[in-house]
Amino acid sequence: MAGVVTPAAGPGGPYTVVIVGTGFSGLGMAIGLKKSGMHDFVILEKAAEVGGTWRENTYPGCACDIMSLLYSFSFEPKSDWSRMFPKQAELLEYIKHVVDKYDLAQHIRFETEVTGAEYDDATDTWGVTVAGEGAEPGEVVRGRALAAGMGPLHRPSVPDLKGLSSFRGTTFHSAEWDHDYDLTGKRVAVIGTGASAIQFVPQIAKKVGSLTLFQRTPPWIMPKPDRRVTAVERTLFRRVPGVQRGYRNGIYLLQESFVLGFKNPGLLKAASGIAQWHLRRQIPDPDLRRKLTPDYTMGCKRTLVSSDYYPALTRPNVELTTAGIAEIRENSIVARDGTEYEVDAIIFGTGFHVTDAFADAHIVGRRGLRIQDAWRDGIKAHLGVSVAGFPNLFLLLGPNSGLGHNSMIFMIEAQVRYVLRCLEMMTSGGGSRIAVRDSVQDRFNAWVQAKSEGAVWVKGGCDSWYLDENGANRAAWPASTVNYWLRTRRLSPGDFEVGAAR
């Protein structure tokens, strides 16, 4: 990229860009920089390995519910996916391949966890404090820009249940799976029936002595058309130009068609009919079926895909309870209907902190502005990336850039391009900082909220992690991904303030 100010970087910087995280976002950003001719960046990674979500989540059955051919970088197609829906191990392998192919390892500092970030008005740089085995005590890594690729779902949420601390057995969260704990023959409680739980419940149900599943809200579940990718398909992908791209585009369009239903839930009638048929076919017991039937509009929460979850619930060692949890005792969980379930272990499939993920984060922008103060009324960022008052900070998959219907990698690629455009705008204007204007961010957020008003997340009759405590949509992108792509494609110079260090 011509004209980008590239400070000469030592081990602690200053770098042109400090990237946080080696998941799809962080690596996508790194590749974007490299392709633009910028090599002066560092990637800070808290773990000893790359992978983000696909490194952290190792629970049994962990897989992606977006098809393999779409859930990959558009510029790095993989023709030999083993299954239509990729499992965690194969995704991690793909991510490692990307790191090798784009020679990114040299840029990564492992076991270097970001503990805070402060913007320095005098130099227009970010000072990123780091800790861990890979960091010096009290070390600060400095960069002109900071690209945060920690992902929106990285802080496991464990509910504050009465008596939980008195429990004598084993507890762990789906994203922190305890592989040393042998579940064979154990009495296990699972709390939560979201995207993660419906993947691991069928796997552990075969092993455990008994499984009590605490469901608060039944998810909508579509059949999962998973299968092995055939040798013929793989050969076609490899040898016949356009076939793999055609598959990918077809899957993208199919997924994208769901967005029409978010605004017009009536259009999801056919899809909810399929989900109801799927439930009827797999759950013959009318009582169990009633408990599993959602009472809110499809799409209000993320619609799930699984063909082995319902059958797992019909096993004699599995019980679904909808009574709610009254309290936890030393060796048991007491449901609100008074039933006491003796258990050896409790597994939380209870999701992540999303709208409150930054509640404790130490991020300080221009003139000492704390992120908590900037976000007093709720988390917001222009196009999910730029935050007014925080120059040169770019959130990857930030507020309102989540999807319930399509591949997040599409969003990441659009955001990476947007960040590159911002850096270009900054340097071509001779500046050392670029910040979105308050009014632009406000206008964007007003549009998001207005667009969400009539949409299924708000009107669908459910609570979901898309909404904050006031019912405002803080997580989901409220329009088509094409709309997002178009909005991030070109920047309006008037939307940003470019300046130089005083």
Nearer to ligand NAP, 262 or 352 (CB): 352
For residues 465 and 474, what is the distance between their CA atoms, to the nearest angstrom? Answer: 9
Cα 289-156-167 angle, rounded to 5 deg: 75
Residues 335-372 as b or e (16 or more Cβ within 10 Å = b): beeeeebebbbbbbbbbbbbbebbeebebbbbeebebe
Least Å from the CB of residue 354 to ligand NAP: 8
Nearer to ligand NAP, 422 or 472 (CB): 472
Nearer to ligand NAP, 354 or 422 (CB): 354
Least Å from the CB of residue 447 to ligand NAP: 23
What strands, in cross-sheet order, belong to the sheet with 187-191?
170-173, 345-348, 187-191, 210-214, 318-321
Secondary structure of residue 120 in the 3-state scheme: strand
Q: Are 448 and 398 in contact (CB under 8 A)?
A: no
Q: 72, 88, 112, 174: which one contacts ligand NAP (CB under 6 A)?
A: 174
**Binding-residue pattern over the window 11 to 50 for ligand NAP, x denoting contact by CB under 6 A:** ----------------------------------------
Q: Does 434 engage in binding with ligand NAP (CB under 6 A)?
A: no
Q: Does 217 engage in binding with ligand NAP (CB under 6 A)?
A: yes
- Concatenated DSSP letters of 448-463: HHHHHHTSHHHHSS--
Q: Which of residues 59-118 bind ligand NAP (CB under 6 A)?
A: 64-66
Q: 17, 43, 191, 313: which one contacts ligand NAP (CB under 6 A)?
A: 191
Nearer to ligand NAP, 56 or 233 (CB): 56
Nearer to ligand NAP, 288 or 425 (CB): 288
- The 3-state secondary structure of 36-68, one letter per residue: CCCCCEEEECCCCCCCCHHHHCCCCCCECCCCC
Least Å from the CB of residue 498 to ligand NAP: 35
- What lies within 8 Å, CB to CB, of 159 at 6+ separation is 191, 348, 350
Nearer to ligand NAP, 43 or 328 (CB): 328
Secondary structure of residue 91 in the 3-state scheme: helix
Least Å from the CB of residue 463 to ligand NAP: 6
Q: Are 173 and 348 in contact (CB under 8 A)?
A: yes
Q: Does 465 engage in binding with ligand NAP (CB under 6 A)?
A: yes
Q: Which of residues 235-294 bind ligand NAP (CB under 6 A)?
A: none
Q: 88, 196, 355, 406: which one contacts ligand NAP (CB under 6 A)?
A: 196
For residues 1 and 13, what is the distance between their CA atoms, to the nearest angstrom? Answer: 19
Q: 81, 167, 214, 394: which one contacts ligand NAP (CB under 6 A)?
A: 214
Least Å from the CB of residue 312 to ligand NAP: 15
Q: Does 302 engage in binding with ligand NAP (CB under 6 A)?
A: yes
**Binding-residue pattern over the window 332 to 361 for ligand NAP, x denoting contact by CB under 6 A:** -----------------xxxx---------
Secondary structure of residue 478 in the 3-state scheme: coil
Q: 21, 132, 192, 399: which one contacts ligand NAP (CB under 6 A)?
A: 192
Length of the chain: 502
Q: 25, 68, 125, 193: which one contacts ligand NAP (CB under 6 A)?
A: 193
**Binding-residue pattern over the window 134 to 163 for ligand NAP, x denoting contact by CB under 6 A:** -------------------x-----x----
Of 5-13, 58-66, 313-321, 373-381: span binding ligand NAP (CB under 6 A): 58-66
Of 194-202, 242-250, 264-272, 479-487: span binding ligand NAP (CB under 6 A): 194-202
For residues 73 and 96, what is the distance between their CA atoms, to the nearest angstrom? Answer: 13
Find the helix or strand (DSSP H, E) in which 234 lies: helix 231-239
Cα 315-176-180 angle, rounded to 5 deg: 75
Tokens of 371: 């992120």
Find the helix or strand (DSSP H, E) in which 275 lies: helix 269-282
- DSSP class of residue 220? P
Q: Are 303 and 494 in contact (CB under 8 A)?
A: no
Nearer to ligand NAP, 16 or 193 (CB): 193
For residue 183, give Cα distances in angstroms to 179, 207, 213, 347.
9, 7, 15, 11
Q: Give residue 119's identity as a one-letter amino acid code.
A: Y
Residues in the site for ligand NAP, rule: CB under 6 A?
Answer: 64-66, 153, 159, 174, 191-197, 214, 216-217, 302, 349-352, 463, 465
